[in-house]
Amino acid sequence: MQLRPQSRGVIHAVSPEPFVAPSNRPNFLAEEEDRRVIVEGMKIARHIVEQAPMDVFRDMEMNPGPNCCTDADWLDFARSNGQTIYHICGTCRMGTDEKAVADPTLKLRGIEGLRIVDASIMPKMLSGNIQAAVFIIAEKATDMILADAAR
C-alpha cells in the first residue's frame, strides 16, 4: 500500500436527499509516484519471499504469478487486484479560507450548531491507521463544545 498517496479523488453530494449515494471517484493510482511505489513494493515483497529462510513457508507463487515480470505487468496486477483500506479523510477540509468547509473550531460553515468531528477535517492522509488521530480530534472537539456551553 502507498501510505502517502499523491493521487486525489473526489466525492460529491448529488442530491439533498440523505439516502441518495454520493458521486465517488477515488482516482487510485492516478499519479506516477503512486504507481512507482506500488510496483516497487510488490517487487520487494516477492524478493523477500524468494529468500531461502522463507522456503519452509513457500510452495509456489500463485498471484501475481511467475509470469509477472515487467513494471507494466505489476501495475496491471495492482489495478486488477488492489484494494483500499477505506481510511478516507480530507473530504471536509478545515481552514480559514473561503474553500474550507469547517473552521478551526470544527464548526461547519453556514450551519449554526453543527461541528464536523471525524477524519474528514484532516488536511492530509496519515502514514498509518487514523483511529488515534480521530480520537484526538474527538477529544479536542469535546473540549471546544464544553467551553462553548460554559459561555
* Residues noted as catalytic: 87
Instruction: Record the cell numbers describing residue 151, joined without a space.
Output: 459561555
Q: Quote the CA–CA distance of 25 and 16 in Å, as a whole number.
A: 19
Amino acid identity, position 95: G
User: What is the three-class DSSP state of 87?
Assistant: coil
Task: Decide if 94 contacts 100 (C-beta within 8 A).
Answer: yes
Q: Quote the CA–CA distance of 118 and 92 in Å, as a whole number.
A: 9
| Closest residue by Cα to residue 60 from 70, 46, 43, 79 | 46
